[in-house]
Amino acid sequence: MTHLSDNAQRHPAYRGLRSTFIGIVTNTLLAAIKGIAGVVGNSYALIADAIESTTDIASSFIVWGGLKISALPPDADHPYGHGKAEPLAAVVVSLTLIAAAIGIVIQSIREILTPHHAPASFTLVVLVLVVVTKEILFRFVFTVGQSMNSTAIKSDAWHHRSDAITSAAAFIGISVALIGGEGYESADDWAALFASSIIFVNAYRILRPALNEVMDAAPPADIEHRVRKAAQQVDGVLSLEKCFVRKVGFSYYVDLHVTVDGDLSVRHGHDIARNVKQAIQAANPNVAEALIHIEPSDLLQE
């Protein structure tokens, strides 16, 4: 057990697991507070906000599981490791966001069509507390996700931001209902309906990069540029041809074609390939593996 814990702390996923755990604890407390306040204070916008926080908890557990799996070492069935579990977790998280948004839309319309009393004024205090807490949590988790280049953790952060936005929308809706008085009771329900569109947008922001990563889409151009720059500085490298880079979890895998003097011995060509690989990994610590294909320069003249 100790051995696994030590490995986890050495793996980049460790920081993500910690930030995800903080998010789970915070969301559990906020979901309970918002749910109780929404029922007692007669605010469906607050209840919808509590539902969104509940999906945040489920999503955070999904991210947690994805990070735990991605930290597992390569094995016979997964020679490239388990890094794909991380973007897959982000895909699932985005789909839960979409499901939550649809549920809020349906219930908001029902509430708008059903006459009811205006929300209680104390719900505004609850919402201010929620907005501040969730925005702080978003900034903390997103910073962790950026530093680790983790799609799943950044998706978890956007869950917190969407929660802050829905809470802000609920605050505006309840304020309108209280200030407007009779005839404006459904203002917070309209706010919940508006918030659902924000959730849809955030779900798309999460889903697109996660799917790209699962599909081995090319990473940002600067990654390939740094790979090529490091390789070109190695003695014996005449030119570079194909360069493919893909992201697997927290690491990058590189396939690079290097042109060398065609009269070199096989051993010398092998040494150049080894030096190129070492140079790439030295310049880019996130590169887990680099497959270097050596090509003789005389092929270019044929």
**Domains along the sequence of the chain with CATH:** 2-214 (1.20.1510.10), 221-301 (3.30.70.1350)
Mean pLDDT of 271-298: 91
Per-residue pLDDT at 115: 66
pLDDT in tens, 11-47: 556 667 788 888 888 888 888 888 888 888 877 667 7
Q: Look at residue 1 and tell me whether its pLDDT is greater than 60.
A: no
| Mean pLDDT computed over every residue of the chain | 82
- Residue type for 177, please? A
Q: How confident is the model at residue 8 (pLDDT cuts 50, 70, 90)?
A: very low
Mean pLDDT of 171-194: 78
- Residue type for 69, please? I
Per-residue pLDDT at 237: 93
Q: What is the value of pTM for the model shown?
A: 0.67
- Other Cβ atoms closer than 10 A to 14: 16
Mean pLDDT of 2-9: 44
Query: Which tokens sit at 262?
Result: 């065609």
Mean pLDDT of 275-293: 92
Question: The tokens 């008085």 sit on which residue?
Answer: 181
Q: Look at residue 75 and tell me whether its pLDDT is greater than 80.
A: yes
pLDDT in tens, 228-276: 999 999 999 999 989 999 888 778 899 999 999 988 999 999 999 999 9
Mean pLDDT of 75-89: 83
**Percentage of the chain exceeding pLDDT 90:** 20
Q: Look at residue 118 and tell me whether its pLDDT is greater than 80.
A: no
Per-residue pLDDT at 5: 44
Per-residue pLDDT at 116: 63
Going by C-alpha positions, the residue among 217, 299, 302, 297 that lies closest to residue 264 is 297
